[in-house]
Structure 1
Amino acid sequence: MLAVFGSTIANPPQELSLPFKGSGSLRTKEEGDVESANFIMDALDEFKSVSGLIPSIPKSKAYFCNVLNHVKLSILNVMPFVEGKLPVRYLGVLLISSRLMNRDCRIMVERVKSKVGDWKNKSLSFAGRLQLVQSVLSSMYIYLALVFLLPIRIIHDTEQAMRGFLWCQGEMKKGKANVAWNIVCLPKQEGGLGIKSLESVNIALMTKNLWHIITRKDSLWVRWVYSYKLQGGNFWNVPSKSGMTWGWRKILHLRDIVRPFICSVLGNGMRTSAWFDIWSKTCPLISHITPRLIASEGFLLSNVVSDIIVDGGWAWPLSW
């Protein structure tokens, strides 16, 4: 069992909700406290009485982030768990309380180099090495890249190992690369070898999280984002502030990249934001009309398209 208490955790994965997840019962609170610990223990007692199974206490740990020391001691008195130290991997995902550092992802680089080391002494043709890079090495970082925007250094070191195996069948040597890496990463129809750029794949995978938010996917993480992060606001209009967690800021920074490619199917206009969604060639309208002007005319930033249509005509001023 894994119990997490705290006020901030950077980029919690979809499988984890603050402050804890455990044994089939879930309750979300902003702060870790004794009440939450009592709730967990009551849920465990109910689980034992219903199922007849007993959770393994020696295998259970409690993790704390920004919790006062006396509160931590009180929680540990209620829960006979060992205190764990961050970072730790939970369901294969790195659980951290700060920004993702190079040392946190170094294991991914080492795994790629270890795989290359197993192959470098084998008599592989260039085509064979290319196939292994495309099918094996390029898939080893997918799971981590789906959750985090990887540090540039990690991306560089991983691609360096891939380049070394492709051109030198081992460590990369100066002057041995026949083609620049950015050309190698182009599709075959554009003159490349079809190896995907790690940075581009990382961004593409992370946009899946944006898509889940925009489409309001029925998941615990999306509901948490709307209730805790957005708090009734629009995802496209939430400002990126220094006080936000590192993972959430990274997601917000992706908005400028994906915004031009996401359009709304208007339908009856009841699910399309009038000001922030792209539903016509001039949208988003918020880029032409200021929030102050919208408010001065009696509209709300939460208005949908159907709100500004009355009797088949636009309800906004003629000057607009």
Structure 2
Amino acid sequence: MMIFVRRDVPSVAAVKSTLSLFAELFGLHANIEKTNMYFGGVHPDVMEAMLAATGFSDGQLTFRYLGVPLSSSRVSVAMFDSLILKIKHSIQHWYSNFLTYAGRRMVFKKWKDICLPWDAGGFNIKDLSTWNDALQCRWLYLLAHTTVGSWVSWHQAYLLQHQSIWIVQSEDSFSSSLKGILTVRDMLVALAGSITNASFLINSWCSHGKF
């Protein structure tokens, strides 16, 4: 089981307290010898305090993917963001090469045409960059128009500080996912011409509670 926690001692202490309550109710205890904490972008002093609050060990991540070596629990969040982008671009590159390969196979259409719907002459294949923008728009809609759900309420209370998602400015402390949402927000506002128009547009994409 993986539990993701904010990088501060109170959040870790809350999780540890919940695990202790779970153990008290059901008799299932976390095996300290097999439980580790993995850190990204955490100050060493804070990291040591979090370890002391839980009694867990500092886990080590060691793997290599797409030429990016990651070894050490103290790998920065920026490196993970870079890795995610490399993975997305590589998947789309492999996908595109397979369908547009001009060697011994039949030459297919251009990638942008392949991603069109069937009725538009394409293969109805999702372009990952466009699909990711669409998913970011869904999160933007949730943050702008709803208050339901732990993800939404946590972001609105702790990261947005109850500011409107349409006006909040990106900060270094924001997660890569929230930064991505704000980037798509700016693209949408530029496309629609104003925040009001963008809000109306994204609201029109929701029907009966489904985006």
Question: TM-score when scaled to structure 1?
Answer: 0.47
Q: Which residue of 2 aligns with 1:186?
A: 116
Supply the distance in 1 between the matched residues of 2:153 and 2:109 (Cα, whole angstroms). Answer: 47
Q: Which residue of 2 aligns with 1:160?
A: 93
Taking a change above 3 Å as real, the CA distance of residues 257 and 59 of structure 1, as seen in their structure-2 partners, is: same
User: Does 1:58 pair with 2:16?
Assistant: no
Q: How does 1:31-180 map to 2 (within 5 A)?
A: 32-33=8-9, 39-85=14-60, 97-98=77-78, 100-102=80-82, 104-105=83-84, 151=85, 153-166=86-99, 173=103, 177-180=107-110
Q: Is the CA contact (8 Å cut-off) linking 1:2 and 1:60 kept in structure 2?
A: no
1:82 deviation in Å?
1.7
Deviations 1:115-149 (A, max 9, x none): xxxxxxxxxxxxxxxxxxxxxxxxxxxxxxxxxxx
Higher relative contact order, chain-length normalized (CA < 8 Å, sep 6+) = 1
Supply the distance in 2 between the matched residues of 1:181 and 1:233 (Cα, whole angstroms). Answer: 40
Supply the distance in 2 between the matched residues of 1:279 and 1:204 (Cα, whole angstroms). Answer: 14
For 1:45, the aligned partner's letter is S
Q: Which residue of 1 aligns with 2:137?
A: 207
Taking a change above 3 Å as real, the CA distance of residues 251 and 180 of structure 1, as seen in their structure-2 partners, is: same
Q: Which residue of 2 aligns with 1:18?
A: 6
1:210 deviation in Å?
1.0
Identify the structure with the greater helix proportion.
2
Taking a change above 3 Å as real, the CA distance of residues 167 and 260 of structure 1, as seen in their structure-2 partners, is: closer
Question: Rg larger in 1 or in 2?
Answer: 1
Local SS of the residue matching 1:235: coil
Q: Is the CA contact (8 Å cut-off) linking 1:167 and 1:177 kept in structure 2?
A: yes
Deviations 1:154-175 (A, max 9, x none): 444323322343455xxx7499
Which consecutive residues of structure 1, in runs of 5 or more, have no partner in the other structure? 4-15, 20-31, 89-94, 106-150, 263-274, 282-320
Question: TM-score when scaled to structure 2?
Answer: 0.66
1:183 deviation in Å?
1.5
1:253 to 162, 171, 183: 183
Fraction of identical pairs, as percent: 25
Taking a change above 3 Å as real, the CA distance of residues 79 and 278 of structure 1, as seen in their structure-2 partners, is: same
Local SS of the residue matching 2:30: coil
1:213 deviation in Å?
0.6
1:38 deviation in Å?
5.1
Supply the distance in 2 between the matched residues of 1:232 and 1:165 (Cα, whole angstroms). Answer: 46
User: Does 1:229 pair with 2:159?
Assistant: yes
Supply the distance in 1 between the matched residues of 2:143 and 2:137 (Cα, whole angstroms). Answer: 10
Q: Which residue of 1 aligns with 2:206?
A: none
1:83 deviation in Å?
0.8
Supply the distance in 2 between the matched residues of 1:219 and 1:87 (Cα, whole angstroms). Answer: 34
1:244 deviation in Å?
4.5
Deviations 1:255-302 (A, max 9, x none): 13444899xxxxxxxxxxxx9545999xxxxxxxxxxxxxxxxxxxxx
For 1:158, the aligned partner's letter is I
Q: Which residue of 1 aligns with 2:70?
A: none
Supply the distance in 1 between the matched residues of 2:134 and 2:55 (Cα, whole angstroms). Answer: 42
Taking a change above 3 Å as real, the CA distance of residues 71 and 208 of structure 1, as seen in their structure-2 partners, is: closer
Supply the distance in 1 between the matched residues of 2:107 and 2:38 (Cα, whole angstroms). Answer: 46
For 1:62, the aligned partner's letter is M
1:251 deviation in Å?
1.1
Corresponding residue pairs, total: 189
For 1:18, the aligned partner's letter is R
Supply the distance in 2 between the matched residues of 1:67 and 1:242 (Cα, whole angstroms). Answer: 13
Supply the distance in 1 between the matched residues of 2:103 and 2:12 (Cα, whole angstroms). Answer: 55
Supply the distance in 1 between the matched residues of 2:198 and 2:111 (Cα, whole angstroms). Answer: 39
Taking a change above 3 Å as real, the CA distance of residues 40 and 235 of structure 1, as seen in their structure-2 partners, is: closer
Q: Which residue of 2 aligns with 1:316?
A: none
Taking a change above 3 Å as real, the CA distance of residues 86 and 222 of structure 1, as seen in their structure-2 partners, is: farther
